[in-house]
Amino acid sequence: MTERSDEDDLFDKLINYHDDEPARNETLMKKTKFTFLEPNIDITTNFSLKLPKTKKNYKLPAFSDTNAYLLAVVEQPQQCRMSGYGEKDRRPIDPAPIVELIVLNCDQNHLVEDELESPFYVVHVSLWTEDMQTQLDLIEGSAPYSMRFLIGSLVSSPTLLKNLQGQKGNYFAFPDLSVRMTGRYRLHFSLVHLAVNKVITEVFSDPFTVYSAKNYPGMKESSEISKHLAKQGLKLTVRTQIRGKK
C-alpha cells in the first residue's frame, strides 16, 4: 500500500474544501501548519514588483525547462469590515483581490502564454499576520467554538483576459473572502499545479486592515483594472461610486 505524503493531504484539503465543514479538522491543523514554502525561497520578497532574469535566479518547475512562474497581485486588498461568527454575517474584503500569473521564458527573456499548463493551475489563499511570520487558521478562546479566521472561496481557477494594455494573461479573483477578527493582516497566495500536486510559486499581498462595524469607513469605488476585467467576464462586484458607512 502506498504511503500518503503531506503533499497528498494538502492536495485533498484544497480540492475537498467546504466552507461549512465543521471544525473536525482542528486536531490535524494544530499538528501541521501548511505554510506552502519551498526550500531557498524568500517569501518576504515582494515578487509583484520584479520579474525573474535568468534560470539561475529562480528554480524552474519540474514540468518546464525554460519557463519561470510568478504571481503578481494586481488588485491589492485594502480594508474589510469584520464578519460575525454566524455564516450569514459575511463582509467581503474590499477591493476583491486579483492575482495574475506571470510566465517568463528564461531562454528568450520575454513573457509567454502558458496555454498548455494553465488548465491545471489553481491559486489558494490563506491569512497571515502582517509580519508574514504566522499563518492564521483557527480562532480559539474568544469565539463560542473553534472557527476559521478567513472564510469564503479560498481557491480560484484561472480566467484568460486582457489587461488595460491589451495583453493577455491568466487572472485569479477572490471576491468572496471575509475575516472574522479585527486587526492588520496579509493574504498569502500559492499557485498549485494540480497535475503534479506541487506549489509552484507564491506571493504575499500588501497589509490590509479589518475594522469593527463602528470604525469601518465604507466600501470604495472599484478600480479601473477591476472594471476592465469584470467587463470581460471576471466574477467581481463593480461599484461605480463610493459607498459610505451606514
Residue pLDDT tens, the chain, 246 long: 455 555 565 555 554 544 444 443 343 333 333 333 333 333 333 334 444 444 445 556 656 666 788 899 999 999 999 998 777 778 999 999 999 998 887 766 667 777 667 788 999 999 999 999 999 988 776 666 678 899 999 999 999 999 999 989 999 999 999 999 999 999 999 999 898 888 999 999 999 999 999 999 988 888 898 999 999 988 888 777 665 555
Answer for the pair 177, 98: CB distance below 8 angstroms, yes or no: no
CA count, 13 A, side-chain hemisphere, 152: 23
Count other C-beta atoms under 10 Å from residue 149's C-beta.
20
pLDDT of residue 61: 66
- Quote the CA–CA distance of 139 and 127 in Å, as a whole number: 12
Length of the chain: 246
pLDDT of residue 14: 52
pLDDT of residue 103: 87
The residues that bridge with 102 in the sheet, in sequence order, are: 70
Nearest to 157 by CA among 192, 126, 188, 121: 121
pLDDT of residue 142: 62
pLDDT of residue 5: 58
pLDDT of residue 13: 53
Cα–chain center distance at 112: 22
Residues in CB range of 191: below 8 A, 6 or more apart: 69, 71, 101, 121, 122, 123, 199, 200, 201, 202
pLDDT of residue 143: 60
- Quote the CA–CA distance of 107 and 145 in Å, as a whole number: 53
